Structure 1
Amino acid sequence: MDRRESLKVLLLGALGARSLSPDELAAAESGSPAHGTAGLASFRSRWAAWPNMSWAGPEYWGNRLQDWRVRTGRLVSRTRGPNRTLHCLTHRAEGANFTTRVHFELDAAAMKGDPAARVGLRFGLQGRFPGVRSAAVHGTGIDAAIDAAGYLWLGENRSATAIDVSGPVELRLRSRAEPGGARVELTGGTLGPTGESLGIDPPAASHIETLFDATAVLGNLALLSHHPSASGASGPGSVPASTPAPAATFLDWTIDGPDVQATPAAAFGPIWFAQYTLHRGILKLTAQLAPIDGIEGLRVGLELRRGGGGWTQVATAPVDGLARTAEFRIEGWDAARPADYRVVANVPLTTGPETFEYRG
């Protein structure tokens, strides 16, 4: 395992060890809801509510993390490279009956020089071990995407007709259980100037369907930006290169269906983890955050609670623009008095401030 893969595993390990209780973690890994953790089996992206930042949001895990950012209420795949995926951490397919839909814009002119380039969805992502974390790091799945000419691809199968990709497009993937497996239908169409669908329902501008083994469609669901000719990789163990230019812009993403497992507690961030030291009455605590340092005026708070009382803020700190950390120093710390702590960030969304916390 190289350094890049080690960092991925450590970060997602922090997700499991801290963000989820043992019952919640078991639910996320097994697909069974733990008490108090199961949410509505439907998901919708909220990029329109978030400020500009070099991060996709707490519901996602990006491969690579630095290839995804929010700009003016949209998600941008900021580089052209192979196998760029953005996994949904909170909702995944635990059965064959589900639907996922995405609205996006692609740069068809740039993609025409790369006949294998695809933008859209990847489903059935499964890793070396069961659960969302292994699939997010090592998962392989099935592509449901559009190429530069507007043809739909479902795995290795291409649609007979193409759609107009000069403007925003919509992809809908619908999976249904059948006696012989899972029938997956992929339909594509264009969007109107205000985002309304202009032909996603049959007879759609383009349509393709395939019967898969029922187990092949289970697992994580992800957005896909795949531009293989941008890779400068060569040889075993090499790191794929990328071209620093926007590859696609995603407007909206939904997931729903009776076999969608919702685990809201699996959201990860924007406070990823924290560590502290205590020496001669001085407490030093560092919180590691997602790349939200670009949010104007954002400060992070440290709060304490003793003896079952309420939370009291004892310090605030800015987010370091290079390390993406918040550092706290508390003098005169009484080590004889145990205390719970939490690190709190109030993020200004367009829907109103939203509070995120990490407890220790």
Structure 2
Amino acid sequence: MNRYRINRRSFLKYAAAGFAVSSVYFIKRTSAATNLQPVQGLPNNLTRTWIGRSFWANRLQDWRLHQGFIECLAGDAGDEIRTVSLLTRELIPGSNAAQMSVVVKRLTDNGGGFCGFLIGGGGGQLDYRAAALVQKASGIGGGLLCTYDGHRLRFREHTSEQRPLQFAELPSQQVGSINPVTNLDEEVLLHLDISPQPNGKFQLQLTASQVKTGQVLGKAILKNVADASICGSILLVSSPYTGQAGARYGFRDPRTGGNKIAARPQNTLGPILGTMYSLNGKVLKVLAQFMPIGDTQARVAQFQYRSTNGAWQSGSEATIGVGYTALFRLTNWNSTKDWEYRIVYKYQTLTAYYNGIIRKDPINKSLTMGLVSCTIATARPLDSGIGKPELPNAELLGRYTSQNIYFPYSQLVQNLRRHQPDLLLFVGDQLYETSPTLKDTSNLVLDYLYKWYLWLWSFRSLTRNTPTIVLVDDHDVYQGNIWGENGKPAPNKDENRGGYVYTGSFVNLVQRTQCGHNPDAYDPTPVLQNINVYYGAFRYGGVSFAILEDRKFKSASTTQPPILLGERQEKFLEAWAQDKQGVRAKVCITQTVFGCVATDEDRRPVINNYDSNGFPQAGRNRAIALLRKAGALVVSGDQHLASLVRHGINNFTDGVVQFSGPAGGALWQRWFQPAGLLPNGGSTPYTGDFIDGFGNKMRVLAVANPKITQKYHVDNSFSKSRNLGDRRLKSEGYGIIRVNANEYAIECWSWDIDPTSTNAKQFPGWPYRLPFTQV
């Protein structure tokens, strides 16, 4: 036996790369493990939800770091295949060898279960962030399980779409009869050898050894494994047996070696996940989102800034509070030039930084805005469901493929960046409560943060350097629809009766994490349940912006009299309409469209879409009149159907123009396909004068329908819902609004089109140019 010790040089190296490092310690190891490198040293004197920079836990609430161990907290029936991804390690193609090891121990003595490695997550075809999500339900790209249950070493499949929770054992060669581990605290070293075979395939050997004595407890060998089956992410696994409550496991000291495993130190995450900021004149607000650090760790972060290559200056300090966020507000910001900034977090002898750029206020140029909404992480959940195509002409969305996992929206982010936006507008449904995993109300905060972190992880490369405005919508607060009724609690948690299903503190947490950095509210007085508000105005790039909260004051359809914006927001719009000095244009940012731009499968106006702001009509007309008085262009999202309309009150064109952008990626589909030609139509189909199901008049100027008709979907959908995951059959993407010298230029792009390519085309009907004189 060899005794392995982390030397001082290795200790310092991994301290720098891993943020937190455990004390140097000795353990007995097999000789095969002595040359492996630690993934990350972990402190043995902390308890926290966040494990460390090199790890991603599925889900947050299912794992913790405790006294040096990565402990699984989920062992109930239904808690199969809880995983922790090794973010900085990846199995890559090629006929090379690989090794990995980890020390495990069983944490509970009730029921059965297994632990080990899951290799080949995503099949080597996914962005590392998407491949880090491989977990419970098996499916295409799900990888291979290499497991130990205290009695036997097994290899199990994780790729079945038809039996997603079976994890069938693969025939393997057992070397010797395993000696079962009986003591709860007894530590076992699992070691996996991956060796190339002469036939181009690989042999996997999984060995279990007693840490204390070095005794080999057993081995299992799996031969003729295809390279494609093992390339991809590497994850640790703890699982009870299917459908049963059972074992939970803890892990420490994961290590890897061999040329088949690539080290990716750039993939670390945390303790600062990302930032967002807004600039309103001399007021700068910056929100730093942290991972769930420990209760005993420092709770103060610092904002520092400098001009290019200058010395760092201290801005202010902020407490890391609700939602693990730190909010900085600076009131005398010099917005005439660019500044570098960084968030600084210190804990004991360790310091972490997160850098970005505060752009100067672009007063003397065309202002370009990016408009994004409705970004679901996955089309199918990763913890349930049998795989099958949704329609006869749809493809199977393999669970761990890019067809199903939209996160991290790499192409959308890349293409949006190519427009070089000056301002980002994310106008709602940044997440969906049922994706990538089903809603877990038993630990609502961590379940929300798990999903929110995915959004920020996706878009942080944009938000760290570009001012960002975020609106909270229904799915963000875990509701399918919301009519907030001034913040009241929903009776019996029935969202259809108006109000909020979950507590005011939860709503405030969502708002804090998503839009705590927004410009200051017009009137910050909270509504019922002490729920904060954020509607208000700001100026940027010589443009005056209004932010509305459609949902918070709106009443349910059964409430009399029905309310839309409410007295407070109407008062705000009246004041904003008067504020025109030094303003070259006005833009109102809101959650959804002031009309019901939708038809049913019989091509008639939809009559019951109370989720739209076509209802109530009286409130809708007052809002349009106030926005018309302000001379504003209105932008929104929510409906998953991109549209550009000129609203009407007394006729079809005496209101404002509103651009409702496409979904970034969503399931629920809407169509606008009225029967026959509409009066005063344009050059593209389904445009012209239209009266919606609430009697509202509008002129539809452009619309981006799904690529199949609604009737085809209704007649052929196997699920009998309006959901559609196959992105080839949808029209999803983002909007671009340019405020030029004398006009608005409104663009609508598909998520997968490079806007800089020679033949790049937008959705039919766009771009649309709206002169200021016609607003």
* Displacement after TM superposition at 1:205 (Å): 2.1
- Structure 1 window deviating more from structure 2 (281-290 vs 89-98): it is 89-98
What's 2:331 paired with? 331
Instruction: Give the percent of matched residue pairs that are identical in Structure 1 and Structure 2.
Output: 22
Residue 220 of structure 2 corresponds to 208
Q: Which runs of 5+ in 2 are unaligned?
A: 1-34, 135-140, 157-168, 358-775
Of residues 217, 222, 231, the one that matches 2:230 is 217
Q: Helix, strand or coil: the match of 1:101?
A: strand
Contact 2:72 2:250 in 1 (8 A): yes
Match of 1:22 in 2: none
RMSD: 2.4
Tell me the amino acid that sits aligned with residue 275 of structure 1.
Answer: M
SS of 1:343's partner is strand
Which of 337, 351, 355 aligns to 2:352? It is 355
After superposition, the C-alpha distances for 1:165-210 in whole angstroms (9 at most, x for unaligned) are 2211111000011122011100112121xxxx512xxxx3201101
> Within the alignment, does 1:84 sit opposite 2:86 as a pair?
no
TM-score w.r.t. length of structure 1: 0.75
The count of aligned residue pairs is 292
- Alignment partner of 1:187 is 2:207: yes
CA displacement, residues 68-89 of structure 1 (integer Å, 9 cap, x when unaligned): 2111222111221111110111
2:49 aligned with 1:65: no
Distance (Å, rounded) in 2 between the aligned partners of 1:185 and 1:313: 54
Q: Which residue of 2 aligns with 1:152?
A: 153
Q: Is the 8 A contact 1:55 1:66 kept in 2?
A: no
Aligned counterpart, 1:111: 111
Deviations along 1:91-143, one digit per CA (max 9) or x if unpaired, are: 1111451100010111462233xxxx211111121259433122112451111
1:228-247 to structure 2, matched below 5 A, reads 228-229=241-242, 247=248
Is the CA contact 1:43–1:256 (under 8 Å) kept in the aligned structure 2?
no
Indicate the SS of the match to 1:215: helix
Residue 213 of structure 1 aligns with an amino acid whose one-letter code is A
> Is the radius of gyration larger for structure 1 or structure 2?
2
1:49 deviates by 5.6
2:108 and 2:247 in contact (8 A); partners too: no
Q: What is the distance in 1 between the residues matched to 2:121 and 2:353? A: 28
**Partner residue in 2 for 1:263:** 264
1:120 is aligned to 116
In the alignment, which of 126, 130, 140 is matched to residue 130 of structure 1? 126
SS at match of 1:216: helix
Which has the larger strand fraction? 1
| Residues 1:162 and 2:160 are matched in the alignment | no
Aligned with 2:133: secondary structure?
Answer: helix
What is the alpha-carbon distance in structure 1 between the residues aligned to residue 111 and residue 90 of structure 2?
29
1:9 paired residue number:
none
Within 1, Cα distance between the matches of 2:133 and 2:104?
Answer: 24
**1:208 partner amino acid:** A
Deviates more, 1:219-228 or 1:138-147: 138-147
Q: 1:50 to 1:132 in 2, by over 3 A?
A: farther
CA distance in 1, matches of 2:58, 2:71: 13
SS in 2 for 1:137: coil
Q: Is the 8 A contact 1:54 1:294 kept in 2?
A: no
Q: Is the 8 A contact 1:171 1:186 kept in 2?
A: yes
SS state of the match for residue 110, structure 2?
A: helix
Which residue of 1 is the match for residue 69 of structure 2?
A: 74
**Equivalent residue, structure 1, for 2:39:** 44
Counterpart code for 2:143: G
Task: Tell whether the 8 Å contact from 2:153 to 2:218 is kept in structure 1 after alignment.
Answer: yes
Q: Which residue of 1 aligns with 2:283?
A: 282
- Does the CA-based 8 Å contact 2:342-2:353 persist in structure 1? no
Q: TM-score of the superposition, structure 2-length normalised?
A: 0.36
CA shift at 1:229, angstroms?
4.2
Counterparts of 2:237 and 2:47, CA distance in 1 = 21
* Closer/same/farther in 2, CA of residues 92 and 43 from structure 1, 3 Å limit: farther
In 1, Cα distance between equivalents of 2:107 and 2:249: 6
Q: Displacement of 1:216 after TM fit?
A: 1.2
- Greater CA deviation, 172-181 or 89-98? 89-98
- 1:359 CA displacement: 3.0
Does the aligned pair in 2 maintain the 1:54–1:291 contact within 8 Å? Answer: yes
Once the two structures are superposed, residues 41-94 of structure 1 have per-residue CA deviations (whole angstroms, 9 ceiling, x without a partner) of 944331236732111111111111221211122211122111111011111111
2:43 partner amino acid = A
Aligned partners of 1:220 and 1:280: how far apart in 2?
Answer: 45
Is residue 277–residue 286 contact of structure 2 (8 Å, CA) maintained in 1?
yes
